[in-house]
A and B are shown apart, each in its own frame.
Chain A
Amino acid sequence: MISSRLTLLALAGACLTGSCGGQPSYWTKPVNTTNVTYGMAGGVAVVDDVAHRVVFLTATADQELEAQSVPIGHNFASAATSADGKKLFVLSSGDWPIQTSSDQLPQLTVITLDSPNLTTPFQASVSNVYTMSEPVSNLAIDPLGAYAVGYQGSGSSTSPSQNQSFAQNPNEIVIFNLTAGAVPKTPSSPTQPPFAVSRSLRSFGGTPQQLTFSPSLNLPANAATAGVTATKRRLLLIETNIDVSILDLTHAFDPPVGSAKTYGRTEITVQLTSGTGTASVTPTGLVVDPGPDDGRIAFFTTADSNVYTLQLLPAPAGSPNDFNPQINLTDVGGLPSDIQFVHTDLGALRVAALVPTMSSAVLIEPDTSVTTKVALPAAYSNMSLVTGVVGSPASGTNVPDVALLWGSSSANASGVALWTLSTTVGQPYRSIEVLDIAAPIQAVLDVPGPLYDYLKVLATPGGGGDFYILDLSQRTANPIHTTNSPLLTIAPDGLRMWAYDQSTDLARIDFATLTPTPLTTNASISVVYDIERPGTCASAASPPRCRSLVAINAQGTLGATVFDALNPVASARQDVALLLEGP
């Protein structure tokens, strides 16, 4: 009798013990804190994929962090910020493949982080959700804020493999119209025009690698000559691994015509591979002439010495597009490493190509393909135009460009050079000024205007301990010594920069004085963000926003150290376990 009762008691206890319910998945799955932070104007966005949310960290006046949580779609794929830092675009794969009616479709979530005035805290809110019929892995954002494009390409490192389809079309792209207003909560189809359209790019074996949004162009070029009317147009230029496609974004949401099922006009594909040979070339370095009436595009490839220039001229009648590219190939004598559209004397348009193997640059007349070789003092491999900040003596619209040349393929200390592209007697340039710097230059960082846009920050390759602040107006390069190879971040207001290594050392360099202010944190620094915070502070910026520096520590469930960016002091506030608080 006793034994039977004891057995019953033990069974009851065992059953109760085993039927207590499970811990929610929010707690059981570890947090991924690697490469999930995005700097925005008023805060730091942290993607918490396990909890299907983005946590926005905003700073308060006493250097505390406040967290706001905004839901996103299931299975994060990629994210990007708008050019002004006020919007975050989050691409998610959904519960793919869809198996039940409750499974979530792939989607793009647009989240706004903004403040109506200087003193109001930044508030995060979902401003739009676009659904898609197929998941895509990558995201490209129009710098002018009108479009976003999701594309599959060759996959993404951040896309979880368990949510990839068994079969995928790498040439599938989804175009989102960011100016079409709010998407209905219950769209009639997964991808609903005029908010988003999906299409498959015509492919000759290539897959999209790089997407470029053109500025507003009047197309077709030379319309008056052909007796047609040019209209403002935005283009999407898609570099695949074997060709280049041109897609008319302005007409991407036009309803299908006739028996066609695809929205918008057919894209134009510029094939780079000869139909008779097996050799393939991969386009790279695509640039668009900013002149609105020229309609020119240029690029080069990784495998031949040609520079390809295209002009979008009026198309023959009956073509799906009203422009058609006229292609010129120009041999520059060696593999180019960088190209730019430049203007020489009297506004003459040229394509400047750097050819490091010849330690020279080549100027190409785009219509005739006539080339002019310019010998350079070093094998410069990169070029950026600094015409607006060097105080060119000329004025008006026909100002010759000034290019900053830097980087050396031989990794020798070649410094930087300023190449003024006006012609003087006997030579195709007015001057090439070399600034000797005792280290190869790996990257040139721009300083936002308006106060110090004449400064450039020159980063040296990893292993070096110095970086340089180049003053284009004075032609000086001020070295800043660091004990370790630093990571560099320029403040969005252009008044200071931050150098840090991935331990606990940090320094603020004010561009007004170039004096470093050393700081330290208790936790290792993964990345830093210079963000706005509510309030008005004495600052050279306009408006005089207060600013905080958030040094992210990607260990555990994410920590951060917050400094006053304008007046940093050693005793900063440390926030820990930022993603541990409940959803």
Chain B
Amino acid sequence: MKPLTILFVIAPAAFATGALAQPAQPALPALPALAPEPSQPAPSPAPAPPVRPVDTPPESVVPADGVDRRDGNWRIEAGYRGSYVRSSGYNPFSNNGYFPEFSLAASRTLFRSGRFSFAPGVAWDVGNTGATARGDVSSLAMQRITVSLEGRLHLGPPGYAYLRAAPGAAVQHAQIDDPSSPGAPLSNRQWVFATDLSAGYAWLVWPRFERSLVQPRLWLQGEGGYGFVAEQRLALAPALPSGSTERASGIDLGSLSMQGGFFRIAAAVSF
């Protein structure tokens, strides 16, 4: 809200400065910026017009050219996340141990001190993968919702580096379609604890040099880290319809832990 407030204040101030060149025009009572110069003599007493009293002076009426507003306060990111999963439980669902995700995040800078700032936010990662497991079609989908706690080190015009910790939870849905299970694929859905620890760098793309200008800015950022996801037992069972009298046994594919190193590339808008 602060940049917008400043914009609204600056605009009437400029307009009022131009009006002073017109002596026939009486001073606008609602322009508090036109305070009398202390060196000029006081005007002769006259009947006091109905002037609205001014309680407090404005914060500023001139843009502070020394303030760097390129980081903004709010930030929205969208990008691509790739994770490398080494868990043997992931083998039925992937040909290469790789898990792709779409990432969406929002954060707000709450605290600044010199070149450092702190910006908490929320993030959502969603992805799925599939393969053939011994001839069966298999798939694994995961959604991860985390609270990101991000510390930034501002390095000037090129951008800033950051460290991010993001605790949260993930829901995983594994499914294998085996023809020996007629009418109901084998599936498992489970919520598990998840946390990301990562470091990255954000590059300011545009506009880069209008440092005091208050407007949305576009960023590109890259990040690498490690994602922890709690281990879950892959006990898959036929998803029989409710009320079914069939007695069917499931299978145990061992343990799956979707943790591993990851990278994320994203585009962000700050304002």
A→B interface (CB under 8 Å): 2, 5-6, 9-10, 12-13, 16-17, 20-24, 26-31, 50, 64-65, 522-523, 553, 555-559, 571-582
Contact = CB atoms under 8 A, between A and B. Distances in A.
B134 A27 contact: yes
Nearest to A559: B180
B247 A572 contact: yes
Contacts of A24: 91
B76 interface: no
A502 to B, nearest CB: 15
Chain A contact residues, majority secondary structure: loop
B194 interface: no
Contacts of A575: 248-249
A582 B134 contact: no
Interface in B92-124: 92, 94-98
A160 B182 CA distance: 30
A522 to B, nearest CB: 6
Nearest to A553: B180
Contacts of A29: 134-135
A570 B135 CA distance: 31
Contacts of B213: none
8 contacts: A27-B92, A28-B95, A30-B132, A557-B136, A557-B178, A575-B248, A577-B251, A580-B253
A13 B82 contact: yes
A27 B263 contact: no
Contact of A65 (B95, B176, B249): B249
A163 to B, nearest CB: 21
Contact of A23 (B82, B91, B247): B91
B252 interface: yes
Nearest to A572: B247
Contacts of B251: 576-578, 580-581
Contacts of B265: 9-10, 13
B49 interface: no
A22 B37 CA distance: 79
Contact of A576 (B82, B84, B238): B238
Contacts of B98: 17, 20
Contact of A30 (B97, B134, B180, B181): B134
Contact of B247 (A17, A574, A580, A581): A574
Interface string B192-210: 0000000000010100000
B263 A578 contact: no
B248 A574 contact: yes
A522 B222 CA distance: 52
A572 B82 CA distance: 45
A406 B136 CA distance: 46
Nearest to A573: B247
Contacts of B242: none
Given A5-B203, A21-B97, A557-B180, 13 more contacts: A13-B265, A20-B97, A22-B96, A23-B97, A28-B95, A30-B134, A523-B180, A553-B180, A557-B178, A573-B249, A576-B238, A580-B253, A582-B254
A571 B203 contact: no
A556 B247 contact: no
Nearest to A29: B134
A574 B248 CA distance: 5
The 4 closest A-B pairs by CB, nearest first: A559-B180, A30-B135, A556-B179, A556-B180
A22 B134 contact: no
Nearest to A552: B180
A27 B248 CA distance: 23
B88 interface: yes
Interface in B169-186: 176, 178-183, 186
B149 interface: no
B220 interface: yes
Interface string B127-140: 00001111110000
A571 B246 CA distance: 7
Q: Of A27, A558, A576, which is in contact with the most chain B CB atoms at under 10 Å from its CB?
A: A576
A29 B95 CA distance: 12
Nearest to B133: A27
A6 B220 contact: yes
Interface residues of B, number: 42
Given A17-B98, A23-B96, A582-B88, A576 B180 contact: yes
A2 B222 CA distance: 12
A555 B179 contact: yes
B245 interface: yes
Nearest to B204: A2
A44 to B, nearest CB: 14
A6 B201 CA distance: 12
Given A20-B97, A557-B134, A582-B88, A12 B179 contact: no
B222 A9 contact: yes
B176 A580 contact: yes
Given A16-B84, A580-B178, A31 B249 contact: no
A245 to B, nearest CB: 43
Contact of A27 (B131, B181, B186, B203): B131
B98 to A, nearest CB: 4
A22 B86 CA distance: 11
A457 B182 CA distance: 33
Interface string B63-100: 00000000000000000001010001001101111100
Contacts of B236: 577
A578 B179 CA distance: 11
Given A2-B205, A13-B265, A577-B186, A556 B82 contact: no
Contact of B253 (A555, A576, A581): A581
A574 B179 CA distance: 13
B96 A558 contact: no
A582 B255 CA distance: 11
A576 B238 CA distance: 8
Contacts of A571: 245-247
Nearest to A581: B251
A579 B92 CA distance: 13
B182 A522 contact: yes
A550 to B, nearest CB: 13
A26 B92 CA distance: 9
B94 A580 contact: no
Q: Of A555, A556, A581, which is in contact with the most chain B CB atoms at under 10 Å from its CB?
A: A556
Contacts of B97: 20-21, 23
Contacts of A572: 247
Contacts of B254: 581-582
A149 to B, nearest CB: 34
A363 to B, nearest CB: 54
A577 B180 contact: yes
B174 to A, nearest CB: 12
Contact of B95 (A23, A26, A573, A577): A23
A31 B132 CA distance: 11
A556 B96 contact: no
B135 A557 contact: yes
Given A13-B263, A27-B134, A580-B134, A558 B247 contact: no
A579 B134 contact: yes
Interface string B219-253: 01010000000000000101000000111111111
Contacts of A582: 88, 253-254
A227 B196 CA distance: 93
A581 B134 CA distance: 10
Contact of B136 (A21, A523, A556): A556
B84 A573 contact: no
Contacts of A559: 178, 180-181
Contacts of A21: 96-97
B180 to A, nearest CB: 3
B182 A577 contact: no
Contacts of A5: 203
Given A2-B205, A30-B132, A556-B136, A576 B96 contact: no
